[in-house]
């Protein structure tokens, strides 16, 4: 399944190797992953990981983006060496950050600062699952200086009490599975209403039959058509926002 999906996307993961990037924030040692754009750079992307931390999955997406011509940096919100594999441990890690959203924002901003140190000024921020929720947390913060757009793939969409989207928030792309039972369609509709109310430009795509985590290669939840279409739309979204 994984090989077929990559063939349709026209990409390989062996053509270019990224590098581990060490940095620190909030007294934590962090370990990100960076890959330079192949060819003439089109722009820069910040990637936020899923609930299992920055793993090979994010590294593959970084490589895919570098092949498309984007400098890409996957940030670390858990800490160096903290890559939980047990479901309860994953829940515990995301739970800590959901309970302390100031820390979540601080860690995301630290990743942005590190990216700027590497010459990545204007960026698009994207995330998967938990990383999608973290991406929207940054969008609501009003602190996304230099962020040209946000993208979330099967990410959490609820807006916490007392939070909202500033009217000057950059465009947002939401890729959602129609069969996602973890994040119901009601959350999608509510987010749409909030973004309309704040006059934030957005695009929502819903893929029929796609469950939660539909982009995760080799997973039973992987849906090739939904993954391919959402990636193609993301490519257009990047091009549109870096062309402005």
Residue range 180-220, pLDDT digits in tens: 999 999 999 999 999 999 999 999 999 999 999 999 999 99
DSSP 3-state percent helix, strand, coil across the chain (nearest 5):
40, 20, 40
State the pTM of this model: 0.92
Domain count, the chain: 1
Give per-residue pLDDT as tens, 111-124: 999 999 999 999 99
**Residue in 135, 131, 150, 133 with CA at minimum distance from that of residue 200:** 150
Mean pLDDT for the stretch of residues 34-47 = 96
The residues that bridge with 125 in the sheet, in sequence order, are 46, 150
pLDDT of residue 16: 52
Mean pLDDT for the stretch of residues 39-64 = 97
pLDDT of residue 8: 36
The CATH number that applies at residue 80 is 3.40.50.1820
Q: CA separation (Å) from 225 to 12, 63, 128, 177, 212?
A: 18, 20, 17, 11, 14
Residue 121 lies in domain: 2-242
CA gap 70, 41 in Å, rounded: 6
**Residue in 144, 133, 219 with CA at minimum distance from that of residue 176:** 133
Two tokens, residue 106: 């601080």
């Amino acid at each position: 399944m994984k090989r077929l999906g990559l063939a349709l996307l026209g990409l390989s993961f062996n053509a270019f190797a990224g590098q581990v990037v060490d940095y620190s924030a909030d007294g934590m040692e962090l370990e990100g992953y960076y890959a330079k754009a192949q060819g003439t750079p089109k722009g820069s992307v910040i990637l936020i990981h899923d609930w299992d931390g920055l793993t090979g999955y994010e590294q593959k997406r970084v490589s895919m983006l570098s092949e498309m011509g984007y400098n890409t940096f996957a940030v670390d919100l858990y800490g160096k060496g903290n890559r939980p594999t047990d479901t309860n441990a994953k829940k515990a890690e995301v739970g800590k950050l959901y309970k302390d959203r100031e820390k979540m924002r601080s860690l995301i901003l630290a990743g942005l600062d590190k990216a700027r140190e590497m010459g990545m000024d204007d960026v698009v921020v994207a995330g998967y699952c938990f990383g999608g929720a973290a991406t929207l947390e940054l969008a609501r913060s009003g602190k996304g200086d230099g962020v040209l757009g946000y993208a979330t793939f099967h990410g959490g969409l609820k807006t916490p009490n007392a939070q909202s989207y500033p009217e000057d928030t950059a465009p947002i792309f939401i890729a959602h599975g129609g069969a996602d039972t973890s994040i119901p369609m009601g959350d999608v509709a509510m987010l749409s209403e909030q973004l309309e109310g704040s006059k934030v430009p957005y695009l929502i795509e819903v893929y029929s039959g796609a469950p939660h985590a539909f982009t995760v290669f080799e997973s039973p939840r992987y849906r090739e058509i939904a993954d391919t279409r959402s990636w193609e739309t993301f490519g257009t979204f990047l091009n549109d926002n870096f062309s402005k």
